[in-house]
Amino acid sequence: MKLLIIGGSDAGISAALRARELDHDAEVTVLLADDFPNYSICGLPFYLSGETPDWRSLAHRTEFEGIGIRRGHRATHINTAEKTVNVSSEGAASLTFRYDKLVIGTGAGPVEPPIEGWRNPGVFLLHTMQDSFAVHRYLETAKPRRAVIVGAGYIGLEMADALTHRGIEVTIASRTATVLPTVDAEFGKSVSEELQRHGVKVHTSVEVDRIAKAGGQLHVSGSSHFEQDCEMALIAVGVKPNATLGADAGLDTGIRGALVVNRKMESKLPDIYVAGDCAETFHRLLNRHTYLPLGTTAHKQGRVAAENALGGNREFAGSLGTQVVKIFDLVIARTGLRHHEAQRESFHPFAAESTANDHKAYYPGATHLRTRVTGNAETGRLLGAQIMGRWGTEVSKRLDIFATALFHGMSVDQISDLDLSYTPPLSSPWDPVQMACQNWSGKVDMIAAQKVHV
């Protein structure tokens, strides 16, 4: 059986590895457009900061026994009738690969912004290994003193941290009202304060529309009278699915142009599967598909696609949009739905925030964790959570408790029943996660009691 996989990042490599686990006799081939299989794109800011000095460290693995990795092989056309894929390769004529089953994992690419001058020298997008090499080369040769980052999402903020780490003066310009708009505004304001505490200038509600070359520097301008000179600009305003190859082959596109799949990662065409950032994602809480490009999701979808391509019957369990980011000394994480998102879906949400020490106060180093819990005020079902705290307070793993509870459809109250570990240097008999849930329940009960007495 010939399994052909287009794309060698999270989804593609995960699919290839799962296929080898299930069938050692399967002929598994991965078509890789560049020369970097299985590299951690999420690690690019840490390479550029100098904290991970060797870019080769970003590779999880580069050699895979029993899997044919065709580097520098870009798929250009899928012939679904003949079950072939045309491929261009440097230094070779057009090649043709046959398949019995095909997995498309072409990922996503950076959104090209409507900004005049964004292609000027010294202006960069950051999504691929080649992008990172261009940025690194510029940092080493041009030695910019000042940088403007357009966008205040995960990559933009991580790069603000990275460039500050290198001693560069950083200014952020974001069209959103607060930075990190995937969390509630109160948390976003705290992130902004953390950025400013480390010398980063933050400008929100700014629509950058022009980057002009002025002598040996750049001039970035936009709405709200934003004007900033710099030697380097980085644009990080989101990603879009790389769906053209699949769409040209006849696959349907849906939300934000992503390729349409069912929960088995099957496309509408026989023997063609799609996984990763080029595909729609089933949301477990919403019970429908959406677009959530995340590396963790891509790994899972690739595994499901390969298993089904080899005759299995597995469904992708669904994403909850669980995410975490470290900005300087602050860690912020979220899962599930925020209050306004849940309200939009008619979930009758109620959100409550609480603050607790990450471990017992009598043990040195205790610090505050802020936790926001969103639940259904009528049924008590957990709908989402956000946690923010200092690096080292296990924000990510505590958030994962909420993600696990969401996955299993638990109520907010049921989280207090979980048998969680405790020792004074690490937690309390009631973990901060459980204290936050008890705070939520108490407030809901109080509101309900007030309604009874009205």
Residue by residue, what is the 3-state secondary structure of 351-367? EEEEEEECCCCCCCCCC
158 membership: H or E segment, kind and range: helix 154-165
User: 96-155: per-residue pLDDT in tens?
Assistant: 999 999 999 999 999 989 999 999 999 999 999 999 999 999 999 999 999 999 999 999
CA dihedral 107, 113, 117, 122 (to 10 degrees): -50
Q: Is residue 332 over pLDDT 70?
A: yes
Q: Is residue 93 over pLDDT 90?
A: no
Reference 309, options 13, 8, 2, 57; nearest CA is 2
CATH fit for domain 2-38+55-109+241-309, picks 2.60.120.620, 3.20.20.70, 3.30.565.10, 3.50.50.60 = 3.50.50.60
The domain segmentation of the chain, as residue ranges, is 2-38+55-109+241-309, 112-235, 329-453
Q: Among 52-56, 387-391, 411-415, 440-444, which stretch is predicted with the lowest mean pLDDT?
A: 52-56
State how beta strands 217-222 and 208-214 pair.
Answer: antiparallel
User: Which segments of 269-426 does DSSP mark as H helices, in order?
Assistant: 295-309, 339-344, 395-407
What angle is formed at CA 299 by the lines to CA 399 and CA 76, rounded to 5 degrees?
140
Binned at pLDDT 50, 70 and 90, residue 63 comes out as confident
pLDDT of the residue at 454:
55
Distance of CA 16 to the CA centre of its chain: 22
State how beta strands 330-336 and 382-390 pair.
Answer: antiparallel
Cβ contact 305:277 at 8 Å: no
Within this chain, domains 112-235 and 329-453 share the same CATH topology: yes
Q: Is residue 85 over pLDDT 80?
A: yes
User: 226-244: per-residue pLDDT in tens?
Assistant: 999 999 999 999 999 999 9
What homologous superfamily does CATH list for 329-453? Answer: FAD/NAD(P)-binding domain (3.50.50.60)
Q: In which residue are the tokens 């020369």 written? A: 35
Sign of the alpha-carbon dihedral angle for 67, 68, 74, 80: negative
Q: pTM value? A: 0.95
Q: Is residue 51 over pLDDT 60?
A: yes
pLDDT of the residue at 194:
98
Cβ contact 33:73 at 8 Å: yes
pLDDT of the residue at 337:
98
Q: Is residue 395 over pLDDT 60?
A: yes
Binned at pLDDT 50, 70 and 90, residue 261 comes out as very high
Mean pLDDT of the chain: 96
pLDDT of the residue at 195:
98
How many CB atoms sit inside 10 A of residue 36's CB? 21
Tell me how far apart the alpha carbons of residues 262 and 279 are, in angstroms, rounded to a whole number: 10
For residue 93, CA distances in Å to 32, 192, 295 come to 17, 52, 33
21 membership: H or E segment, kind and range: helix 10-22
What is the SS3 string spanning 84-101?
A: EEEEEECCEEEEEEECCE
pLDDT of the residue at 253:
98
CATH architecture of the domain covering 112-235: 3-Layer(bba) Sandwich (3.50)
